[in-house]
Amino acid sequence: MSLSPTFDDVRSAAARITPHAHRTPVLRSRRINEQVGADVVFKCENFQRMGAFKFRGAFNALSRFTSEQRRAGVVAYSSGNHAQAIALAARLLDIPATLVMPHDAPAAKVAATKGYGGQVVTYDRYTEDREEIGRALAADRGLTLIPPYDHPHVIAGQGTAAKELFEEVGDLDAIFVPLGGGGLLSGTALSARELSPGCELYGVEPEAGDDGRRSLRQGAIVHIDTPATIADGAQTQHLGAHTFEIIRREVDDILTVTDSELVECMRIFGSVMKIVVEPTGCLGFAAVRKLAPRLRGGRVGVIVSGGNVDLDRFVSLLAS
């Protein structure tokens, strides 16, 4: 389990996931191509089951449980998409799921997690450590802990989105990927290096949480306080040991964008492409818009990672 995943693991994840996950659409827009000056393809994981790519890694990890692990159940800590992904995958595989969520998590996310049959345990995010609670539950009840990004099966599962993209569109000159803890970026790296070896690979973080970029520069994992950003899926405090190993080896650079650049992308996705994308899901496209002069005439991939944003929040972000 401590082995670093390879493209073979992505291939094997794809075989397990395909019957259960959606093959998400690849969308293009002539207007956006004209604005950017490049041919841009969007892999739309906002249309994935439960609304984000995280279903891929969660299902792959749970599908590999032994019968004993299945009986005892899974535990995960997350305020957002990973909790919903674990709850849904666990329901499909008939595994009991316990989710450790902050007591002030958005009601819609708690309700969605419970709706998938997950048992929610709440904690105080200012005074308690969710990783400690998760580990204690795992030890006391014999549950298997599946972390949100730093796990070989999770990374391999996340890599299946880019695998589908490259198989559908062929070689790309560059691909832009939202970056939190690095599961999506490192999985994408495994697929990109195999299926489009010359493709440049960029991770994109919120400016307020640039730990990934600093980690790449320093050659060691940098830890930060929870960053203040509207990109709630990228409020991670550090990369993982597995994800950083792949990222430092394969990724060309890590870029940052501001919250207002994310809001502008939410607006363009809504008005031009008629799709709802959550702030974190806009990271890749925001970087493409910034780098447009350098991308001119090229073929560019963007992973649109998720669409789980409360509609009231969507509206108030656009109005701000």
Give the interface size with ligand PLP as a residue count (CB under 6 A).
Answer: 22
CA dist 146 and 235 (Å) reads 18
Q: How far apart are CA 89 and CA 59, in angstroms?
A: 5
The whole-angstrom distance between residue 173's C-alpha and the CA centroid of its chain comes to 22
Selected from 183, 206, 284, 301, the binder of ligand PLP by CB under 6 A is 183
Q: Which stretch binds ligand PLP (CB under 6 A): 32-40, 95-103, 189-197, 233-241?
A: 233-241
Determine, following the binding rule CB under 6 A, whether residue 179 of this chain makes contact with ligand PLP: yes
Give min distance, CB of 183 to ligand PLP, in A: 3
Cα torsion for 17, 18, 20, 22, to the nearest 10°? Answer: 120
Q: Does 278 bind ligand PLP (CB under 6 A)?
A: yes
Q: How far is the CB of 153 from ligand PLP (least distance, A)?
A: 13
Cβ 63 to ligand PLP shortest distance, Å: 19
Q: Is 284 in the site for ligand PLP (CB under 6 A)?
A: no
Residue 78 CB, nearest distance to ligand PLP (Å)? Answer: 8
Q: Does 280 bind ligand PLP (CB under 6 A)?
A: yes
Given CA atoms 98, 100, 104, 109 in this order, what sign does their dihedral have? Answer: negative
Q: Is 79 considered catalytic here? A: yes
User: Is residue 48 within the footprint of ligand PLP (CB under 6 A)?
Assistant: no
Instruction: Show the binding pattern over residues 152-171: x = contacts ligand PLP (CB under 6 A), - = does not.
Output: ------x-------------
Question: Is 290 noted as a catalytic residue in this protein?
Answer: no
> Which residues within the stretch 125-154 sit at the binding site for ligand PLP (CB under 6 A)?
148-149
CB 206 within 8 A of CB 255: no
Note whether 269 binds ligand PLP by CB under 6 A: no
**Which one among 36, 185, 268, 302 touches ligand PLP, defined by CB under 6 A?**
185
Nearest residue (CB) to ligand PLP, 6 versus 33: 6
* Residues facing residue 39 across a β-bridge: 299
Alpha helices in 18-150 (DSSP H): 30-36, 54-63, 67-72, 81-93, 107-115, 130-141
Non-local (6+) Cβ contacts of 270 within 8 A are 276, 277, 314, 318
Tokens of 139: 């030890």
Cβ atoms within 10 A of the Cβ of 226, count? 11
Our finding on whether 240 is near ligand PLP (CB under 6 A) is: no
Where do the H-state alpha helices sit in the chain? 7-17, 30-36, 54-63, 67-72, 81-93, 107-115, 130-141, 152-169, 183-195, 211-218, 241-250, 259-273, 283-295, 311-319
**Which residues of this protein are in contact with ligand PLP, per CB under 6 A?**
52, 54, 81, 148-149, 158, 178-185, 233-234, 236, 278, 280-281, 305-306
Point out the residues that are catalytic. 54, 79
